[in-house]
Amino acid sequence: MSAVTPTSPASAPARGSRSRAFVLGNLAVGHAITHWYNQSLLVILPFIRDSMSLTNLEFAALATIRQVSSGVANVPAGFAIDMAKRQWGLILTACMVVAAISFTLVAFSPNYGVLAVVMVFVALPGTVWHMPAIAAISQRFPERRGFGLSIHGAGGNVGNFIGPLVAGALLGIMVWQKVTLLFVVPALVVAVIVWLSLRDIGVSGVAPNESKPLKERVHNALRLLRQRTILSLTLVTMLRNMGFNSLLVWLPVYLKDPVESGGLGMSGFMVGLHTAFLTGLGVASAPVLGYLSDRFGRKIVVVPGLVITAVLAGVMGLVGAGLLLTLVVLVVGLFTYALAQILQATVLDHIDRGSEGASMGLILGSNAAITAVSPIFAALIVNNYGLGAVFYYNAALIGAAAVVLLFTALRRPPAARPRHGHAAAG
């Protein structure tokens, strides 16, 4: 009978060998909660703005603080994830606990200064969650990476849809402080589920190239940023995120503000409903677009999606408050987070196994640090040209991302490569 070496995946404990579907399903559930919290806050923040009488710049600064915190946390989290594979389950559980704590702190924030500090912690669960989740999926689905990440993203899109919808409905019957306190409960429940189901997600053996020292990991990650394709993909992601993050921050304000202030004067429920449409419809489209990107290539899926998103984002401020606006938001929602997952898969197509966390942490961290200023730029546009003008800004950035990606040569996804050869995908 042949022996199994210690570094073989087969040597992991039985619990560490759970099926890929089981692991992916539970990662998707946890991802749903992190996005529930992030997107529900988009609906809650305009009510906090009115309650605390914040200026546009103060309001935008809250989004910028969240982005900066996310960017700063991404880099060390990425390196730590690669080096602490056996603690992935504990890290994922901690994300749920921190989410519950941070929303409790939001509810009890007495003024803007305290709330600004709390925003630093609000961003951490979603940021850190992605590192071990993306790495685990990338390693378990090397031939179907786009599909695997899209299923994980679909879980996030469920949270994207439910969070704003529930928040908007609750804001119609209670103050925002009580809404944030109610949201603490789901995170604590899912923390228990994540611990029971994923506590040994990383205990599946460590491949030889996954035991590299920190210095080598840093060198490899920095070397990636010198590659033309990685630089182009980083720029694409940055432009897309600048446009979309600004859209996420200012669309709820546009929907809620009274007509005399340039908004549409919608109720809390309608604000939540449209935010849910914008952020949550990827639950249906993400797996389909992920499969198509695996099968036919990333660019043929992402470029048209970015173009459609840019065009429709540009007309959001022109169509008024009727059915046409709802349809525009619905179509944009089909592409928003679904494209983000495919862009992650595109980057991972160019990263060696065992360096996923460090590389994605460095790329996403540097990206988030730059895109953090986008809501501030948008606030200046709103102050000078009105709320409707912010949609042109968003559209221009997303359109620029499509142009850069169009002229970027990409490696074919593993499932789309010919049996012999590794030609670039056009």
CA-CA-CA-CA dihedral for 310, 314, 317, 322, to nearest 10: -60
The model's pLDDT over 291-342, given as tens digits with 9 standing for 90+, comes to 888 888 889 999 999 999 999 999 998 988 889 999 999 999 888 877 887 8
Contacts of 135 (CB under 8 A, 6+ apart): 81, 82, 88, 356, 357, 360
Between the two ends of the chain, the Cα-to-Cα distance in Å is 48
Query: Is-contact 188 326, C-beta < 8 A?
Result: no
**Cα 232 vs. chain centroid, distance in angstroms?**
19
Query: Is-contact 44 177, C-beta < 8 A?
Result: no
Residues of the chain with pLDDT under 70: 1-18, 75, 77-79, 81-82, 202-226, 352-362, 364-366, 369, 414-426
Domain residue spans of the chain? 15-201+211-425
Question: What is the per-residue DSSP string for 336-356?
Answer: HHHHHHHHHHHHHTTS-TT-H
**Cα 379 vs. chain centroid, distance in angstroms?**
22
pTM over 0.75: no
Dist. CA 211–CA 232, nearest whole Å: 29
Structure tokens at 245: 């993050």
Dist. CA 98–CA 222, nearest whole Å: 30
pLDDT for 405 equals: 93
Residue with tokens 């990650």: 221
Dist. CA 387–CA 238, nearest whole Å: 23
pLDDT for 416 equals: 56
pLDDT for 199 equals: 76
Express the helix, strand and coil content of the chain in percent, nearest 5 each: 80, 0, 20
pLDDT for 182 equals: 92
Dist. CA 64–CA 379, nearest whole Å: 11
CATH of domain 15-201+211-425: 1.20.1250.20
- Checking phi first, is residue 8 left (phi over 0); if not, alpha (psi -120 to 50) or beta? beta
pLDDT for 17 equals: 46
